[in-house]
């Protein structure tokens, strides 16, 4: 039977890909977004689908609908955007979770929380397994996002234990692909936009800090597998690519793929910026049979082509 699925943050980078995939699977999709970082352009091709409904709404306010599943993706996820209004970021994670968990409780819907690798902070354990509690500065400039997401996980688990709400928690590591915002301040979008413009590529710190990048298609597959898993699997479960790369090597790779003549320049590392980030995905592989399959060069070529296309318009 066709499921009625609510996707909050559905007009965003990840949300729009998820809405598209769920529709292709034959579901009915309710897309909620307040357009703080999302865009109608991301879901314009879905508007005329009779099983797609677009609703402008902020999840810090209650929302009522009869749904079978809820994907909570609503929250600014890049430092530029979540630090712009730190209080609003915390409210989105905390009050938004309370509102959506209340909806799940009333309707009996299964609900998935899009958490983040940022709950690990600047990790002292490498790679990071789900059992690691993290190393987070609760008073720093990133705390509004890090601690907001950590509190959201607490709320999800509390609703599950106290009210038997059917929950899933996904900890998402660095993700890239088409529909990223050109000005979101993330590594791949920053480097790609700068390279295509022939500008200097800005590397913070000495460039030897590492990240692990997964392509958007792999993440969407992981999110759906976690939601659809019928066994006991509340999470949290890491969804990311365990292949580690230095920021400096990523800059060189993007310069090569774009054919740019950009130089690399260095600026001071922002406060609390993690030095290493790599997921342990053994749990996702064991429980869900999931692992990323898109090679980094292949994903970067698709992403660069997207940014090239929108820059020509």
Report yes or no: 180 and 13 within 8 Å, Cβ to Cβ: yes
**In the 3-class helix/strand/coil scheme, how is 105-146 assigned residue by residue?**
HHHCCEEEEEEEHHHHECCCCCCECCCCCCECCCCCCCHHHH
Element (H, E) at 171: strand 167-172
CA 225 to chain centre: 16
> Which of the following is catalytic: 71, 82, 120, 145?
145
Secondary structure letter of residue 9 according to DSSP: T
What's the distance, Cα to Cα, between the start and end of the chain in Å? 41
Long-range contacts of 184-188 (CB under 8 A, 24+ apart): 184/37, 184/78, 184/80, 184/81, 185/78, 185/79, 185/80, 185/81, 186/78, 187/211, 187/213, 187/247, 187/250, 188/213, 188/250, 188/254, 188/300, 188/303
> What is the residue whose two structure tokens read 């034959």?
26
Tell me the Cα Rg of the chain: 19
- 3-state DSSP call for residue 237? strand
β-pairing, 244-246 vs 264-267, is unpaired
Size of the chain in residues:
313
Look up 306 and say whether it is catalytic. no
Cα(312)–Cα(86) distance, rounded to whole angstroms? 34
| Three-class DSSP category at 175 | strand
Residue 150 is given by DSSP the state H
Residues taking part in catalysis: 145
């Amino acid at each position: 039977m066709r499921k009625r699925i609510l996707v909050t943050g559905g007009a965003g980078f990840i949300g729009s890909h998820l809405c598209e995939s769920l529709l292709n699977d034959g579901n009915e999709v309710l897309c909620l977004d307040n357009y703080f970082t999302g865009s109608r352009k991301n879901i314009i091709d879905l508007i005329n689908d009779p099983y797609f409904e677009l609703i402008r709404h902020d999840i810090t306010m209650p929302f009522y609908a009869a749904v079978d599943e809820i994907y909570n993706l609503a929250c600014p996820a890049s430092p530029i955007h979540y630090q712009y209004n730190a209080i609003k970021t915390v409210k989105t994670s905390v009050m938004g979770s309370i509102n959506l968990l209340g909806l799940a409780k009333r309707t009996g819907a299964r609900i998935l929380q899009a958490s983040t690798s940022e709950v690990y902070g600047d990790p002292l354990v490498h790679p990071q397994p789900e059992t690691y509690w993290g190393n987070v500065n609760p008073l720093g400039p990133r705390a509004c996002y890090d601690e907001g997401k950590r509190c959201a996980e607490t709320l999800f688990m509390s609703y599950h234990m106290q009210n038997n709400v059917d929950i899933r928690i996904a900890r998402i590591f660095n993700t890239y692909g088409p529909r990223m915002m050109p000005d979101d301040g993330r590594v791949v979008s920053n480097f790609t936009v700068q390279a295509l413009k022939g500008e200097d590529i800005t590397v913070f710190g000495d460039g030897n800090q590492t990240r692990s990048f997964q392509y958007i298609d792999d993440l969407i597959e992981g999110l759906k597998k976690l939601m659809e898993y019928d066994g006991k699997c509340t999470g949290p479960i890491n969804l990311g690519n365990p292949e580690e790369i230095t920021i400096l090597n990523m800059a060189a790779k993007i310069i090569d793929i774009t054919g740019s003549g950009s130089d690399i320049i260095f600026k001071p590392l922002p406060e609390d910026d993690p030095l290493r980030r790599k997921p342990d995905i053994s749990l996702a592989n064991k429980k869900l049979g999931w692992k990323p399959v898109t090679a980094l060069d292949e994903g970067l070529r698709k992403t660069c082509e997207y940014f090239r296309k929108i820059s020509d318009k």
